[in-house]
Every structure is written in C-alpha cells, then in structure tokens.
Chain A
Amino acid sequence: MMFALTALVLAGFAAPWLCRAWGPRAAGRMALLPAALFVWFLAQLPAVRAGDALVQGFAWLPGLGFDFTLYLDGLALLFALLITGIGTFVVWYSGAYLKEDPASHRFIAVLFLFMASMLGVVLADNVIVLFVFWELTSFTSYLLIGHHHEDDSSRKSALQALLVTGLGGLFLLAGLILLGLAGDSYDLSVLMENKALAEHPLFPAALGLLLVGAFTKSAQFPFHFWLPNAMAAPTPASAYLHSSTMVKAGVYLLARLHPVASESALWLAVVPVVGAATLGIGACMAYGQTILKRLLAYTTVAALGAMVMLLGLGVEGAAKAAMTFLLAHALYKASLFLVAGIIDHETGEKDVRRLGGLRTHLPWTACGAGLAAVSMMGVPPTFGFLGKELLYAAGEWPWVFAVSVLAGVFFFVVAALTGLKPFLGAVQPTPHTPHHEAPVALWAGPVVMGALGVLFGLVAPALGHHLIGPAVTSVLGQPAEVKLALWHGWNKELMWSLATLAMGGAALALLPRIRPALERLAAVTAWGPDRAYQGALALLNAVAKGQTRILQSGSLRTYLEITLLFVLATGGTWMLRSQPVPVAHAETSITMSDVVIVTLILVATLGAVFSPSRMAAIASLGVVGYAVALLFVLYGAPDLAMTQLVIETLTVILFVLAFHRLPPFTRRSSARLQLLDILPAALVGIFMAALTLAANRANFAEPISGFFAEHSWKSAYGKNIVNVILVDFRALDTLGEITVLAVAGLGVIALLKLRLVGKGGPS
C-alpha cells in the first residue's frame, strides 16, 4: 500500500516532465499506473474476504502517539478499487480532453496527487494520517476546480469548495483527536473494536464534530451548495472527484465509524435526517436544471444523501444497500459525467434541451451513455436496478421509503435526460457539428463502466459474496454475508421498482410543462445556504475592516494610549486586586529639601509638557535631570550624580544643536484630547510610583552588590566599583552598549547622507 501511495505521488511530481517527453501519448501511458494498482488491489481480494486485513506502517510522531499506519479491509478495498479503476479511465480521458490546453500537464499532475490523497484517506488507519490525506484531497480539489484560473467564477467556486470542506476539516480534526483521547488510541482499527467507546462522555462531542466534517465533504445539507458550483472544474475532474470519489469520502468516514457510532442516539437522530433532506433537496433541484453537468451534480448530491441516510439507519440491510448503491452510483455517474464531457467537447453545447440525434456521429459514446443511463434508471437486470431494490428494502420506516421512491423517479428522469435524450431523436444544430466519433481515450471509460454496470447485475451473487460482503463486514464491525440476486419473486420492492419506472416516464413527459414552475422554485432556493456563504464572507470582510480600522488606526497617540492602558489593565488591576502594596504610610521621613526638589521636578515636567516651543521643553527636561542629580547627591551617590550631570548637559546641548533648524512646533491634538490624555498618563505614573515604593520596602534576598565591593579591588584591581562593574564584572553589557553607540553613529551618517527618492518599497 505504501508503494501505491509513493508511486502515485511520484507520478504526480513527474507528470509535467513526462507530459513534455511523451507528448500526446503521456496520459495514456501514465494511466497504466492506476491500472496496475487496480490489479494489485484486486489480487488482495481473496485475503481480505477471508478476514485478513492488510496492515502496514512505521513510527511517525512517536512523541504524540501518531504512527503512519495503513489498513486494508473490505471497505477500504472497495474504495481503493473504485479510486484506481475509475482513475485509470479518467487519466486516459484527461489526456484527450485537454489536448489543446497548454496547462494540461498541471492538470494531470494534480490529478495524480489527488489520487494518492484519496487512496490515502481510505487506506489510513491512524486518524491523523486520515486527516492529512483528507485535507490534501480538499486542496487538490481546489486546484482542479480552479484549473481555468483566469476565469473569476472558477476561482470563486474553487475557493468556496476549499473553504466549506476546509471548515469541515477543522471539525474533523478536533473530532478525531477527541475520539482518540476518548478511546485512548489513534488507530481506527483499534477504536472501532472498542464498543464501550460510545459510552464515553467525550464521545457525543467527538461524533458531532466528525459528522460536520463528513457532511461538508459529502455535500450534505446545508453544506451541499459547493458541489454544483464545483462543476467549474474540467469534466474529468468532475467525473472523478465530484461524483465518484472525493465526495464519497464523507460517506466513507460514516461507514468507517459505523460499527461504534451507529449505536449512539445522536447518530440515529441526525444522520438519517440529514441524508434524507439532502436526498430530497438534491432531487428537487436536479429536476429544474438543463445544463448537463449541473443536472448530474444535483443528482450526485441526492445520491450522496441516499447513502448517508442508509448508513444513518444503523441496520444491516441498510448498510448492504448503502454499499451496493455506492458501487452502482460510482459506475454510472462517472460514465455519465465523462459522456457529458464528450458531448461538450464535440458539440460545444451544454444544454440538454438543444441536444439530440448524436447517436449517428458518436456511436460508442451513445452506447456507453445508454448503458449507464439504464443502470441509473434502475431498469432490470442492471446493477442500478439491484441498488434501487435494496434501497427500497432498506428499512421499515415509511418516510425513508417515500423519499427513496421520490428519488428513484428523479433519477429516472435525469438518466433519460443526460444519457438518452442527447443521442436519440432528430439531430439538433450545435455550435460545432461532430463528424466522427471521439477518440477512444474519451469513450473507453463510459463504455467499460457502463457495461460493468449491466454485467454486475448479471453476476450479482458473486459480486455480493466477494466485494460487497467484505465491505459490509467492515461497516457493521462483524462478519456479514451479502446475498445479492436479481430475482426475489414478486415482492413489494419489485412492484415499486417497476412503478418507479412508470412514474419516471410520466414525469419525463410532463417535464417541459412544469419546467417554468421549477425555475421559479430554483429562484427561491437561491436564497439558501449559498447566500448564507456569501453573506458570511461579506460579514467577515466587514468585521475585519472594522476591527482593523479601530485597532490599527495609524495614530501613534492611540497606539501609545492603548499600550499604557494595557499596563494599567494588567499590572494595575493586579495591584488593586491583590493589594500587595501597603502604600498608606511612608516610613522614611520627608525633609524640606526633598519637597523643594520634587516640586522643582514636577514643575519642570509640566513645563516640558505644556511649553509651546521645543527649546523651552528641552530646557525644562534639563531642569528635571539636574534635580534628579541633586537627589543623588543628597542620598549618597555622588558618582551617579556626576554621571547624571554630564549626561544631562550633553543631552541638552545636543538637542539644542539638532533642533534649532526644525520648523516651529505644532500641536496635533486638541485641548480636550490632551486633557483626556492626562488620565492614563497619570494613572501609569501612580502605578509605577506605587510599585517602586512597595519594592523599596520589600527585600526578599541578599543583594549581590556585596561581592562587587569585596572583589573590586581584591580581584579586579579597581577602586571605583562602578567602573569595575562596567569594564570587568559586566563587561559584556558594555560591549553591547558600545555596539549600540557605534550603530547609532553609523545610522546618523547613513540617514543624513542616503536619501532615496521614491514612493517606498524597493527602488
């Protein structure tokens, strides 16, 4: 399995070169890789059916408990066969379909990367491995939907699909980790044998999160809207990702969780209802469409709903029906999508109403389309007929049955419109007129898959035993035997199945008359979740712009004010709350000289703030500095006082020299704003003063200064302790400060000399 993933990834990276080297034959040759993998997976069938799941892995993130483990059981095998089998035809098809596209090599490269990711999802045993590949399918899908990336709507659709499935991915990740925490293992094979898991208090939360992930990926209501929009992708991608494989990843996840989760009340309450709602909505919306690919897209939504509904019922019969229907759907839907692509490619026409009589020019395509259509309609003895019968037999719930029959009728109509109508009847004029059949690369897929859809009906018992049975075993978590047969006698399901065909025929005949009404309905549904998505994006932009305008206003004054308020809100509130500072009385006595000096400092500070000229402000600051120096003198630090005096003198002189050429000082803030500014400034000042007072009184440990006094002369041979500290004890600090000075000097020169003209940024 590991080699399969590696080979596909390597093929993806090599695709651009291979396409250049092999030219138009590249896709056909590259399709041999998935074909070979298909054969390999097929060869695993006997072992898997015998109950020997294939396990591989290596230690990956041992510290987190995540190992890179892969696991091939019946369910994984069914999906792996679909992925590699359909993938073979899709790759081959893409080469011919995108022959004229200069970026076709990129498309094929991403297609292979997608194939590897999708295969990884179904083979993953470890939940994080599953998640990794799950996200990669989302991203490769984004690249494929946006293949025509110069087109605005393609980009929008790609982004929508990415955001919706990405949103689900977040829920999925949280759910998977919670599941792992609850079950004490991150391996699905271990988790799903732990039946007690459903009783864990974390389980409902985990399941809820996982369901959102599955629903977004499998386009379940209300997240279904991204799928029809994803039809902006080139048709082979739609056929592959958005009908037969990636959108089934959610269904796969539900099937995977089924053994444990189907026991829980949340599952039974939510999953069938969401599935049924999706089935109904998809079917109704499909009915009003006329564009081939959109018609197919909505029936895909409906079909996914059917699978989800079936799995949600949590009974054995429904699980069988789900797996059978899944296989049948994958075959006919991929065929019909590929046919839609051929029709578009050969005629340039996308609207079913303007298509007809193509059978003469496109006989093989018509053949494939017809086979797929009868399977989708559920005509006996096709495989689709079997799938529909099992669907009808799935449960005793009348509403399930009613929704299923309704869906069956719609499927009949869509199958007839997409698979039969374009080929029957009189030839209609189209933008291009096909003169000959499309290349074999295009029609091979529809013909083979369409034929399989019929053949599988005929060999149903063997298929049920060898392929569907092991898958159902995985879904149920216990051995299950699946007996498929076309003929069960004249029972209720058969009657209803035939009745569905008749009703479908009637609906088809009525369609032209009720289409206007349906179009009005479609206008109403435009107010659905798609609108909500647009609204959410608009809201996000508005909120983002609003908050940024408030926070990042561009005003330095606001920035400083918020910073001050932050200091108050953290340190200040902490002090108020915990009251570590008994500041009520100061112990040291206050002398007259203190009062004088402090008053001097205060007055000078106010003078600096309020003075209208720079010179006066600088002079006032000088006064503050000298006054502080006086305090140093009074409190026994003459060396500090000396330093302070020198620095203050120098600073004032430098400032005066630098500032006297500047234009006159202007006030930017109004008087009212300045008054407001006093508050935070004063509060921060009070806070710092209180903190300093408190620190002055507290003494938690013996200071290290004693060492300096002792060793200054003895070990460092210096008499001035401050000097020794600067040049010896803490010489590294001085080295740093010297560097700062040097850089400052360099900066002054550079800033004065180098003036680049320009509007900014690189010049």
Chain B
Amino acid sequence: MNLLLAPIVLPLLFAILALFALHHPRAQRALALAGTGLLAIVSVALLLSVRAGGIVAVQVGHWPAPFGITIVADLFGAIMVVLASLTGFAIALYSIGVHDRARERHGYYPLLLVLLMGVNGAFLTGDLFNLYVWFEVMLMASFVLLALGCEKPQIEGAVKYVALNFFSSALFLAAAGLIYGVLGTLNMADLAQKVAAVEDKRLLTSMALLLLAAFGIKAAMFPLFFWLPASYHTPPPAVSALFAGLLTKVGVYALIRTFTLIFPLEPTFTQPLVLWLAALTMITGVLGAAAQMEFRRVLSFHIVSQIGYMIMGLALFTPLALAGAVFYIMHHIIVKTNLFLVSGVVHYLRGTGELKQLGGFYRAHPWIAILFLIPALSLAGLPPLSGFFAKLTLIVAGLQQQAYLIVGAALGVSLLTLFSMTKIWGEVFWKAAPGRPEPDAPPALEPARLRLMIAAIVLLAAITVVIGLAAGPLFTLAMEAAGQLMNPQPYIEAVLGGAP
C-alpha cells in the first residue's frame, strides 16, 4: 500500500528537502539524484507488484470510495509512473551535468521534483477532481520551470503556454462540475458505473466532449497544439526534454483513461471524431516539422505528430490498438526525451540550434552521432528499434479494423518523420561544419560535465534498444494493460470493492 503512494509522496518529500538546501547546490544535486533514483526503483517495484498481484487501490484517509479520494494503479498507470520516473532520473543526471548555477539557486530541482509529483499523481489518481488538482500542480511547476531565467523568448513562449493551458483547466473544471452535477460523484470508477447505467447518454456526451477539448489541449492534439511549438524550444534543453517526454503524455493518458473507463468511445460520434483528429494531428505535426530549420523546433512538431499515433490507438478502440497506444507511449517518452537531450548537447557545444549553422558532428563526435541515430531512427519507426514495433502494432490493428485511411496516414507520416530525422542528420552530422568565425563561441564544455550529460543520453538510448530487443515481452505487457483498459470491471472492483 505504501508503495502506491510513494510515487507521489517521495518527490514531494525530496522537493521540500531540496528547498531547504536552496543555497547549497551540491546538496540539491545529491537530493535530486537520490530522489529520482529512489523514485525509479519504487516505480519499478510498483509495476512488478501490479503485474503479479493485479490492480491495487488505496483509499486516502480511509474514507471509503467513492466518498474520499482513491489512488489506484492498474498496469497502464503503473507503466506510466515507471516511464515518468526513469525520465526524471535521466533529466536529473543531465541537469547536474549542465550545471546551471543560476537556475539551481532559484529552485530548479524542487520544481523538477514537484513536476514529477504532479505527473505521477495524475497517473495514479482514481478521482476526476483530484486529476484536476494534479494538472494544476504540473501546470504551475512547468510554467515556472519554463519561465525561470526570464530570457525574452522564454517569457514569450511561457505566456502562450500558460494562457492556453489555463483555458484547458477552465474547460476541465467546468466539465468536472457539470459531471458532478448530473452524476453526483467524482470517483472515476463510480462514474464509470453510473454512466453505464444512464440510458440516454446524449447530454453526457456533450460533457465528454468538453473533456476531449480540455485533455486535447494538454495532449497537443490537432487543432489545439499551438502552445507546444510556441514554447518548447525556449527553456534550457533539460527542461524541454522533460516536458517533451512527459507533459503531453499526461494529456494522452487522461484521454485514454476517460474514453475507456468513464465514457467509452461510441461508434456513432466520438470514435470517428477522435480518429479524424488522430489523423490530422499526425499529418499537421509532421508537416510542421518539415517546415522547421531549428533542432528543437523540428523535434517539438514531431511530438505533436507522434501524439496522433497514440490517439489513433485509442480511436481504433480494440485491445490490440490500445496495446499499440500503450507501447507507443512507452517507446515515445524515452525516445523523445533523449532527442531533446541530444539537441541540448549540440546546443551547448556549438551555441546554436539552427541547422544551417551546424555541421561536422559525425566527423568530430561520432559517438554523439550514434546516440542521435538510435532515438531518431526509432522515432521514424526503423526496425528493429522500439518505434517500429509501436507503429507495427497500430498498423496491424488498423488493417484489422479496415481503417485504411488512417493506416495510410500513419505510414505516410512515418516516411515524413524519417525525412525530417535525415534532415537533422544531414545538416548537423553529415554536412561539414560551416567554417565561420565564431566571435561569441561558447566555452567548451568541461569533459566531466559532458560525461554526465552523455551518461543520461546513453541510459535512455539503452532503454530504447532494450525496448526493441525485448519487444515480445513488453508487447505482452502492453496487451495486458490494454486488456485492463478495455475491460474496466476489475478496475472498478478494485476501487469500489470495499464500498457500501
């Protein structure tokens, strides 16, 4: 039971400790590394215990569900927590390498830990309003991280980020209020039961659509993704990498949870709608990436595009398709975080992310080149890397459902993804470095710092390779998670089991 609350409590505890050590950077770094490392271990333990013993739930304060707040971990939730924690650990490691003293003195690590707390809370809560609270925790922590430093582009990006995300919060809150108004409960398992008992669901569907918009903004779904490309290239790379890996995936998680558990997609309206949105998200995202010539801007648009694949898994709404979505998320969080980390190393070494001004990395840093290729090719779905299996599952699921249009879109977008990854490869790695004088060349990174940053990248690249090599067992895990999503009865029983 304590294991279940640990992914929320641990980061909070370490955040508080780090806050006390605000003016001792060494202590802060040690706390951040210990906190995220411990978190990773605990998360893996949680996943293993859920895998072995089934869904676990805790009634906070011992108030029985649905009256109190339930924290619950099914396989999907536990997988997400593991991914978030591993990402958090890699980011902590990388941030220590970056050694940004100014930001460290202004609460960088506590913010990082609070963000992880919010993310894990969102993955584990079994209560709709509590989910809103975790969204707020994430939003506030991410906003401060995004703006920390007050560089001009940061502020510009942060304003758009926060304005659109506040709108999402407003929609979410309104929907939660309306839903409570008609169903009289906020516990998600209880909601699932009560929604299932309602015969005329038309009014409920309107409210579900509000949630679609609210979570769609969080997930950077078409046409609600503007905040993401507007802001992700502005903060320090470690922050972008953390956001790129986790934030949108919380939105996707909320979409999947809502539209499998509470409002299962209906073939009359919501399912085709979401399917179209998935296709458009993929296409507009990848085209956006094709139009960019800056490292992190390219990557940012690719997040949008990849979100489309995950939503496609939801929209096809079969166990196999959802397994594809779960597998996709597993692969994507690791890969995307890593690509941003690599872009950061390039940025720190050359002082720019403009593709036109970069070059010569293959010759000068062959190891960085290989560490880029692993996530980049995985993102494009080149077999036998992790992304291939994610796409393969979705494509098989789509063809089984005879959803030929979305399969065509998914395949075409993967070629365009390969196209933009080769664009970065060609410009940054293959092309000769443009021989321009660099008056304001940044000081070269100290080897010790670079080693820490590379260590974080190697860790994530190794995970990517392992996901590819162990695709069979992980796919089985994803299938089990999808099975729980498509058949929510055990989840409902685990949450409400002790209820009167």
Q: Identify the stretch in B46-54, B127-135, B330-338, B489-497 within 8 Å (CB) of chain A at 4 or more residues.
A: B127-135
Q: Verify if B188 is at the interface (C-beta below 8 Å from A).
A: no
Q: How far is the CB of B116 from chain A (nearest CB, A)?
A: 12
Contact call A132/B388, Cβ cutoff below 8 A: yes
Q: How far is the CB of A560 from chain B (nearest CB, A)?
A: 7
Q: Verify if B121 is at the interface (C-beta below 8 Å from A).
A: yes
Contact call A754/B102, Cβ cutoff below 8 A: yes
Contact call A135/B382, Cβ cutoff below 8 A: yes
- The interface residues of chain B lying within 8 Å CB-to-CB of A570 are 209, 212-213, 273
Q: Verify if A499 is at the interface (C-beta below 8 Å from B).
A: no
Q: Verify if B291 is at the interface (C-beta below 8 Å from A).
A: yes
What's the interface size class on A, roughly? 35 or more
Q: Verify if B267 is at the interface (C-beta below 8 Å from A).
A: no
Known: A563-B213, A730-B68. A739 touches B117 (CB 8 A): yes
Bound-complex Cα distance A470 to B178 (A)? 72
Q: Kindly identify, within residues 723 to 763 of chain A, every residue whose CB is under 8 Å from any CB belonging to chain B.
A: 728-733, 736-737, 739-740, 743-744, 746-747, 749-751, 753-763
Known: A691-B178, A733-B69. A162 touches B114 (CB 8 A): no
Known: A61-B472, A730-B69, A763-B151. A541 touches B290 (CB 8 A): yes
Which chain B residue shows the least CB distance to A580? B202
Q: Verify if B424 is at the interface (C-beta below 8 Å from A).
A: no
Q: How far is the CB of B67 from chain A (nearest CB, A)?
A: 5
Which chain B residue shows the least CB distance to A542? B291
Q: Verify if B183 is at the interface (C-beta below 8 Å from A).
A: yes
Known: A63-B479, A574-B209. A708 touches B67 (CB 8 A): yes
> Within the complex, which residue of A547, A737, A740, A762 is in contact with B236, where a contact is CB–CB below 8 Å?
A762
Bound-complex Cα distance A760 to B234 (A)? 6
Known: A574-B269, A760-B153. A562 touches B362 (CB 8 A): no
Q: Identify the stretch in A92-100, A245-253, A695-703 within 8 Å (CB) of chain B at 4 or more residues.
A: A695-703
Which chain B residue shows the least CB distance to A106? B366
- The interface residues of chain A lying within 8 Å CB-to-CB of B202 are 574, 578-580
Known: A554-B230, A761-B347. A575 touches B136 (CB 8 A): no
Q: How far is the CB of A20 from chain B (nearest CB, A)?
A: 13
Q: Kindly identify, within residues 105 to 128 of chain B, every residue whose CB is under 8 Å from any CB belonging to chain A.
A: 105-107, 110-111, 114, 117-118, 121
Bound-complex Cα distance A694 to B207 (A)? 11
Q: How far is the CB of A260 from chain B (nearest CB, A)?
A: 19
- The interface residues of chain A lying within 8 Å CB-to-CB of B205 are 574, 578, 580
Contact call B224/A566, Cβ cutoff below 8 A: yes
Bound-complex Cα distance A61 to B323 (A)? 13
- The interface residues of chain A lying within 8 Å CB-to-CB of B479 are 63
Contact call B140/A743, Cβ cutoff below 8 A: yes
Most buried by A among B227, B284, B287, B362: B287
Q: A306-331, CB under 8 A of B: which get 1 and which 0? A: 00000000000000000000000000
Q: A171-206, CB under 8 A of B: which get 1 and which 0? A: 001100110010000000000000000000000000
- The interface residues of chain B lying within 8 Å CB-to-CB of A146 are 430
Which chain A residue shows the least CB distance to B16? A742
Q: How far is the CB of B110 from chain A (nearest CB, A)?
A: 7
- The interface residues of chain A lying within 8 Å CB-to-CB of B114 are 739, 743
Contact call B396/A64, Cβ cutoff below 8 A: yes
Q: Verify if A60 is at the interface (C-beta below 8 Å from B).
A: yes
Contact call A700/B209, Cβ cutoff below 8 A: no
Contact call A174/B60, Cβ cutoff below 8 A: no
Known: A547-B288, A562-B226, A750-B107. A705 touches B184 (CB 8 A): yes
Most buried by A among B164, B213, B233, B432: B213
Which chain B residue shows the least CB distance to A748? B144
- The interface residues of chain B lying within 8 Å CB-to-CB of A556 are 159-160, 163-164
Bound-complex Cα distance A162 to B407 (A)? 21
What's the interface size class on B, roughly? 35 or more
Q: A487-511, CB under 8 A of B: which get 1 and which 0? A: 0000000000000000000000000
Contact call A174/B431, Cβ cutoff below 8 A: no
Contact call A560/B184, Cβ cutoff below 8 A: no
Known: A177-B396, A703-B185. A59 touches B133 (CB 8 A): no
Q: How far is the CB of B212 from chain A (nearest CB, A)?
A: 6
Q: Verify if A688 is at the interface (C-beta below 8 Å from B).
A: yes
Q: A540-559, CB under 8 A of B: which get 1 and which 0? A: 11011101110110101001
Bound-complex Cα distance A360 to B314 (A)? 71
Q: Verify if B248 is at the interface (C-beta below 8 Å from A).
A: no
Contact call B130/A732, Cβ cutoff below 8 A: yes
Q: Kindly identify, within residues 228 to 251 of chain A, every residue whose CB is under 8 Å from any CB belonging to chain B.
A: none
Q: How far is the CB of B94 from chain A (nearest CB, A)?
A: 12
Which chain B residue shows the least CB distance to A743? B140
Contact call A761/B181, Cβ cutoff below 8 A: no
Contact call B140/A744, Cβ cutoff below 8 A: yes
Q: How far is the CB of B182 from chain A (nearest CB, A)?
A: 5
> Within the complex, which residue of A563, A703, A750 is in contact with B224, where a contact is CB–CB below 8 Å?
A563
Q: Verify if B20 is at the interface (C-beta below 8 Å from A).
A: no
Which chain A residue shows the least CB distance to B399? A177
- The interface residues of chain B lying within 8 Å CB-to-CB of A61 are 389, 471-472, 475
Q: B52-83, CB under 8 A of A: which get 1 and which 0? A: 00000000110100111101000000000000
Bound-complex Cα distance A696 to B181 (A)? 7
Q: Verify if A587 is at the interface (C-beta below 8 Å from B).
A: no
Bound-complex Cα distance A541 to B415 (A)? 14
- The interface residues of chain A lying within 8 Å CB-to-CB of B31 are none
Q: Verify if A678 is at the interface (C-beta below 8 Å from B).
A: no
Q: Verify if A433 is at the interface (C-beta below 8 Å from B).
A: no
Known: A139-B377, A563-B213. A132 touches B291 (CB 8 A): no
Q: Verify if A131 is at the interface (C-beta below 8 Å from B).
A: yes
Q: How far is the CB of A47 from chain B (nearest CB, A)?
A: 29
Contact call A740/B140, Cβ cutoff below 8 A: yes
Q: Verify if B329 is at the interface (C-beta below 8 Å from A).
A: no
Q: Identify the stretch in B36-44, B193-201, B454-462 within 8 Å (CB) of chain A at 4 or more residues.
A: B193-201
Q: How far is the CB of A552 from chain B (nearest CB, A)?
A: 5
> Within the complex, which residue of A173, A571, A762 is in contact with B347, where a contact is CB–CB below 8 Å?
A762
- The interface residues of chain A lying within 8 Å CB-to-CB of B136 are 736-737, 740
27 interchain pairs, CB-CB under 8 A: A63-B472, A64-B393, A139-B382, A149-B431, A150-B432, A155-B426, A181-B399, A554-B230, A556-B159, A563-B164, A566-B213, A567-B209, A579-B202, A700-B182, A701-B184, A729-B67, A730-B69, A733-B129, A733-B133, A737-B133, A740-B136, A743-B111, A746-B110, A751-B150, A759-B153, A760-B151, A761-B233
When A and B form their complex, which 4 residue pairs have the shortest distance between CB atoms, in order from nearest?
A: A703-B184, A747-B144, A580-B202, A149-B430
Excluding A142-B422, A177-B399, A580-B200, 9 further A-B contacts by CB distance (< 8 Å) are A59-B472, A61-B475, A64-B396, A128-B392, A155-B430, A566-B216, A746-B110, A754-B103, A754-B105
